[in-house]
Amino acid sequence: MADEPRLRDVAADRDFEIGAAVAAEPLRTDASYKKILRNEFNYVTAENALKMGPLRPARHTYDFRDADAVVDYAREHDQTVRAHTLAWHNQTPEWFQEWDYTDGQLEDFLRDHVHTTAGRYRSRVDAWDVVNEAVADDGTMRDNLWYDAMGERYLDRAFEWADEVASETDLYYNDYGADGVNEKSDAIYDLVSRMLDRGVPIDGVGLQLHALHEKPAPESVAENVRRFRELDLDVQITEMDVAYTPADDPGDRDARWEKQAEYYRAITEVCLDEGVDTLVVWGVRDSDSWVSSWFESLTGDPLLFDAGNDPKPAYHAIKETLETYEPN
């Protein structure tokens, strides 16, 4: 691959951010992982290191070592950093189970967490997923500890607190299963519309696009992107991966990887057509992906590089599209 232009260079040539989710451990131990990361991606998201659980080993304690390792590595290699996530129902601190908090104490904790964490990285990260996955799959507001304590206003407060300490950072609402137009993305559209009406400082929406048990139709993703952009919100593809079920797996690996490449190509074309300038894949190599440890029924090869560190047809499909595609 010596003389071939790198994916990040082709992306940069058209002001496009091609990113990957990054784990702190392989950054310390895996030279091949680091080589692919710095050579091929101009954008990174911390896969776990900036989440509340990993950051808060105790009520009055912060552990920024993994987060700093990811952020500093990216900045050393001229990569833009997307921070993920300040308020989420998952990966909350383990000691929360024992903590008999009042609603007021939980609100104070969230405010302190947002101020401290977003404040610390204000000049080192480009964007934050301020709130992640606040809408349930049926379109209702997800019943979680923050919603229980503060109602829907926990989203308003979290964005306002982040804006108070990092006003130059772009602030996003991020979710899954809402990539195309459906009941859940309708509910998210209504939610962010209400937030905008309330003057909440939200800059954009992140569509995770985990194309696993379902593959959202590219034209439906395009329609969904358009309606959010019509609200004057930016849209990013934030956690893309593409795996196959026994039902839609062609069976032969090469045939599957060609099918996978066509889907990555189609979504990249949607991005270029609809003014989406950031596409992040949720991991560096197939062997780094969360998919195989969470879903035994799915194929464990959802990303752009295989377990042998080699680029797959999906990698070339995205690169060719960024090199040649003329948006309509």
- Report the candidate in 200, 19, 23 with the shortest Cα–Cα distance to residue 126: 19
In the bound state with ligand G3I, the residue whose beta carbon lies nearer, of 121 and 272, is: 121
List, in sequence order, every residue forming a beta bridge with 18; answer none if it has no partner: 279
Could you give the CA distance from residue 287 to residue 218 in angstroms, rounded to a whole number? 26
Q: How far is the CB of 152 from ligand G3I (least distance, A)?
A: 20
Record the tokens describing residue 258, joined without a space.
Answer: 């060609």
In the bound state with ligand G3I, the residue whose beta carbon lies nearer, of 90 and 167, is: 90
Q: How far is the CB of 255 from ligand G3I (least distance, A)?
A: 26
Q: Extract the runs of DSSP E, i.e. beta strands, from the chain.
A: 17-22, 43-46, 80-87, 127-132, 170-175, 204-207, 210-211, 234-242, 278-281
Q: How far is the CB of 88 from ligand G3I (least distance, A)?
A: 7
Which residue, judged by CB position, is nearest to ligand G3I in the bound state? 290
Q: How far is the CB of 207 from ligand G3I (least distance, A)?
A: 11
Q: How far is the CB of 150 from ligand G3I (least distance, A)?
A: 21
Q: Contact 125/71 with Cβ under 8 angstroms?
A: yes
Residues in Cβ contact with 301 at an 8 Å cutoff, skipping those fewer than 6 apart: 243, 253, 256, 257, 260, 286, 312
In the bound state with ligand G3I, the residue whose beta carbon lies nearer, of 91 and 320, is: 91
Exactly one of 17, 40, 133, 160 is catalytic; which is it?
A: 133
In the bound state with ligand G3I, the residue whose beta carbon lies nearer, of 215 and 265, is: 215
The radius of gyration computed from the CA coordinates of the chain, to the nearest angstrom, equals 19
Record the tokens describing residue 72, joined without a space.
Answer: 């500093």
Q: Please report, as ranges, the residues that interact with ligand G3I according to CB under 6 A.
A: 47-48, 90-91, 132, 176, 208, 239, 290
CA dihedral 176, 296, 285, 243 (to 10 degrees): -50
Dump the DSSP string for 57-97: SBTTB---HHHHHHHHHHHHTT-EEEEEEEE-SSS--GGGG
In the bound state with ligand G3I, the residue whose beta carbon lies nearer, of 234 and 241, is: 241
Catalytic (active site) residue 239: yes
Residues known to be catalytic: 133, 239
